[in-house]
Structure 1
Amino acid sequence: MRQTGAVDPTLPPGWPAAVRPPGAPDWEHTAVAWLFDLVPPDYRAHEVLRRYPVLLARFARDHVAAGLEAARAGWRTVRVELADDLPADAMEAAITAYEREGARLASAARGVEAVAGALRGERWVPRL
């Protein structure tokens, strides 16, 4: 496995560290495992998602996008909606949690797009 934070110039930006590079042994297996980790556990019950990884990537893209939008909406509205229910330190912690979750989901979204492209057979070519 690659080290977290290390940039591999042969992979597209945002490629997940848990997924082996396209063409490596079992790379699709690592991609499927990573994609399943992004979606609700019940998705594993759908044989069609295991059989067609590109479809799983589509489900993961939609799920991550919905989570990202929810985190953004929560960040925008939590101060108003819970102003009377939370002390100031809890409010700041909530804002921080929304920010971290948003960053995590934005990173996951970039990873899903990169993996989905590779699953469709697209090859990334670095630009100068």
Structure 2
Amino acid sequence: MRHTGQVHDTVPPGWPEEVRPPGAPDWERTAVTWLYDLVPPDYRAHEVLRRYPVLLARFAADHVAAGLEAARTGWRTVRVELADQLPADAIEAAMTAYEREGARLAAAARGVEVVAGALRGERWVPRL
């Protein structure tokens, strides 16, 4: 879903395109679906996460933060730890993959933050 015009103005920066704006029909359902896409499939087995979307957002935030830290650690250490086991082009490709994954996870972390706020009832007001 692309944000245009009025809809774009109703969500904070970093709002995930997959999640409808707060107040739109089924927006919470789209938020829950998106949050579940960020966590391991086994999280769906926990009834408490289905019952309380704000708790699911907390679990997603923790999971995304751990992944982001792992990507950062991998980027810092892959060259040293695997330089004698992989060709230089593989190391460079790994570093590029870590960079892309880090950027994806950083965006997801921001998305989780703003979606969690909306699930808690916070409303975003654009600054002039």
In the aligned structure 1, how far is the partner of 2:8 from the partner of 2:103?
Answer: 21
Structure 2 residue aligned with 1:92: 92
- 4+ runs deviating over 6 angstroms: none
Shift of 1:64: 0.1
Number of corresponding residues: 126
Superposed CA RMSD:
1.4
TM-score scaled by length of structure 1: 0.95
Shift of 1:10: 1.7
Tell me by how many angstroms 1:112 deviates. 0.1
Find the counterpart in structure 2 of residue 124 from structure 1: 124
Identity %: 87
CA distance in 2, matches of 1:108, 1:125: 21
Question: Is 2:22 the counterpart of 1:34?
Answer: no
Higher fraction of helix: 2
Q: Which amino acid aligns with 2:109?
A: A
Helix, strand or coil at the partner of 1:102: helix
1:109 aligned residue: 109
> How far does residue 9 in structure 1 lie from its aligned partner after superposition?
2.1
Q: For residues 54-111 of structure 1, what are the alpha-carbon distances to aligned partners after superposition, in whole Å with 9 as ceiling and x for unaligned?
A: 0000000000000000000000000000010110110110000000000000000000
* TM-score (structure 2 length as normaliser): 0.95
Q: Does the residue aligned with 1:64 lie in a helix, a strand or coil?
A: helix
Residue aligning to 2:73: 73
